[in-house]
Amino acid sequence: MPVWIWYTALRILLFAVPLAVLLIAGVNPWVSAAVAAVFGFSASVIFLRRQRESIASDLYEARHRETPAVHVDDEVEDAAVDAASTERRDHSA
């Protein structure tokens, strides 16, 4: 399972569980949501550091590859742009 899915699921649980407990206890829904959000944020900063760092390093590696990933669509678009610029030069000369 990818790290980002695991991290997202844990973040949702860290918000949803306190929210459910507070709502069951009869606390105002706005206050429950605010307290659950603060708790979820705080707990994720404290307990999910490894997952957050793993996601950050994966994103960094994806953005800073030695050779950029080339997709078929990119090659087709580049060929169309090159053909259009060549055609424009031929007509203007």
For residue 48, give the 3-state DSSP assignment. Answer: coil
The total number of structural domains that make up the chain: 1
Q: What is the sign, positive or negative, of the torsion defined by CA atoms of 34, 35, 36, 42?
A: positive
CB 40 within 8 A of CB 14: yes
Closest C-alpha among 24, 25, 22, 41 to residue 33: 22
| Domain encompassing residue 48 | 3-92
Q: What predicted TM-score, i.e. pTM, was given to this entire model? A: 0.63
Q: What is the pLDDT of residues 2-59, one digit of tens each?
A: 888 999 999 999 999 999 999 999 999 999 999 999 999 999 999 999 999 999 998 8
Nearest-angstrom CA–CA distance, 4 and 51: 8
